[in-house]
Structure 1
Amino acid sequence: MYAQLFALFRQRIENGVWPLNECIPSLDELMEEFDVGRVTVRHALGMLEAEGLVGRFRGRGTFVMARPQSNIWYRIPMNWDELTGAQPDIEVEWLESHECAQPPASVHAGAALGEAYQALKRRLLRHRIPYGIGHTYIEKNVYAAFGADVLAKPIPLQVLDARLPGGVGHAEQTVRASVADLDTARLLDLTSGAPVIQVTRSVLDHQGVLVYESLGVFRGDFVEIHTDLK
């Protein structure tokens, strides 16, 4: 709950609802407005303070000290160079790793499947706030060749781009709006049914074999798509 509260407080500062250099509502007022406990409000305010957005002064209250640079923590890359050239300031928490026969639902129907795949699951965080979950499937032999490097990178496709024998033959991306299921809601500190953005990526080698597929699920309030139209 504190993550949702932090995001709401941050948005109020960004939108000017809580003006710069002004005192924000008291702890008790925030507790009553959002129907949460004192510890939850304190935690959310502490995260704002750690980001330099508010300052708490004994006997005076909590004041807005700065506006956030952006409320967007993930701008979805719209081409290969943007994706593989990104250097995100994020934390990665690896949750699962196991072998499976194939990705559960390949979105690239024309791809030939490999012998087996390594399934990886991770959670993406920034400022200790979880904002994304990544489900990644890497062809078994490709993973065996440089799997350790994949685990060390926040963007596994950067390793694939640099080291895949013969290079990447084809890559595609699909973006769609969805809602959080129970597991996603738990991992991203959301309510079930909250809006999320799903990003699916498929990468084939020059023989048409699916060597990589991923499903990223991101909080709808921390993501944007930007495209130059002309």
Structure 2
Amino acid sequence: MLPETSAAARVPQEKRYLQLAGLFRHKIVTGQWPVGGSIPTVDQLEALHCASRTTVRMALGSLVAEGLLKTRKRGGTQVVAAPPRPPSFLLPSSWKDLVLFHSHTGYRLLESEPHCMPAIPAGMGCEGELAPAYQRLLGLHCCGDQPFCLSQMYVEQGLYERIAPQLAQRSVVEALTRGPRPLASARQRLGIAPADELIQTHLGVALGTPLLQTLRWACDRRGQMLHWAQLRYLGDYAHIEMDLLA
């Protein structure tokens, strides 16, 4: 049995096997492990992923329980089914697309807290001055019953109090579009961020799992930041397209 080494050794076994199970599931979804074919042996997977035999067996066992893998009597493990592909959303590249995106996905508010300040990463270089206080909204964006994105959104406190009655029927971005303080600029930055404790709790993803992250901000004509948001997406649910000849 190989000892788990380096960074993997510092991950608790119950989290490590979930990471491996997610990786193995992805191999089936993408056809790297085709239905009807055999997968590498436990020894090979143990060596390839620097994981213990117990961890590999736990990961494979979870996929057997899902009905994706089957262990054969003569040895070896075969792929017998592929999980359904989740719907994949094209990430918005304009404010108009953003409004449409939020109108076609579900939203579940988890927390609403007044008089907060957004935690903007150092060196972001956002234009606009911060307001004295913001309303913080923590929520899940869902496809049907399945959450695929966790967002922390901040709206300037006075503006939030004016648009709050709309939020039962409209998303925050649509309410901002229709709000009493017109937006003069809006930008977003895309990147990769590791899953933290909030993501682990609400999206069921192991700590450190890479996620697609959007940082978004919008300002009014006076240059005050009215809206700041951090959204982190499960990678299977989001994609980006660019016209390289535009």
- Return the TM-score normalized by structure 2: 0.66
8 Å CA contact retained: 2:166, 2:175: yes
**Which residue number corresponds to residue 98 of structure 1?**
113
User: What's 1:130 paired with?
Assistant: 147
User: Helix, strand or coil for the counterpart of 2:244?
Assistant: coil
Structure 1, 136-145 or 214-223: larger mean CA deviation:
214-223
Alignment of 1:69-108 (within 5 A): 71=86, 73-86=88-101, 89-105=104-120, 107=124
Counterpart of 1:179 in structure 2 is: 194
Could you tell me which residue of structure 2 aligns to residue 117 of structure 1? 134
Q: How much does 1:94 deviate? A: 1.2
Question: What is the aligned partner in structure 1 of residue 28 from structure 2?
Answer: 12
Q: How much does 1:211 deviate?
A: 0.8
Q: Distance in 1 between matches of 2:172 and 2:23?
A: 28
Contact 1:149-1:159 at 8 Å conserved across structures: yes
CA distance in 1, matches of 2:235, 2:60: 25
Q: What residue ranges of structure 2 are gaps of 5+ in the alignment?
A: 1-14, 40-54, 69-78
| CA drift at 1:128 | 3.2
Aligned-residue sequence identity (percent) comes to 20
| Residue 218 (1) aligns with residue 227 (2) | no
Describe the SS at the equivalent of 2:150: strand
Partner of 2:204: 189
Tell whether the 8 Å contact from 1:24 to 1:63 is kept in structure 2 after alignment: no
Measure the CA separation in 2 of the matches of 1:24 and 1:142.
Answer: 58
1:193 deviates by 0.7
Deviations 1:106-153 (A, max 9, x none): 745431222321100001232533321000000112111121323544
Kindly provide the amino acid, as one letter, of the partner of residue 119 in structure 1: R
In the aligned structure 1, how far is the partner of 2:134 from the partner of 2:105? 26
Q: Distance in 2 between matches of 1:150 and 1:170?
A: 22
SS at match of 1:169: strand
Structure 2 Cα separation of the partners of residues 221 and 34 of structure 1: 24
- Separation of aligned partners in 2, 1:130 and 1:156: 18
Match of 1:139 in 2: 156
Q: What SS does the aligned partner of 1:86 have? A: helix
Residue 211 of structure 1 aligns to which amino acid in structure 2? L
Structure 1 gaps of 5+ residues are: 26-31, 49-61
Q: Given the two structures, how large is their TM-score scaled by the length of structure 1?
A: 0.70
Q: Relative contact order, CA 8 A, sep 6+: which one is greater?
A: 1
**Take 1:199 and 1:87, find their aligned partners in 2: how far apart are those partners?**
14
Count residues with an aligned counterpart. Answer: 203
- CA apart distance, 1:88: 5.3
- 2:25, 2:63 within 8 Å by CA — same for their partners in 1? no
- RMSD, matched Cα: 3.7
Which of 151, 172, 182 is 1:156 aligned to?
172
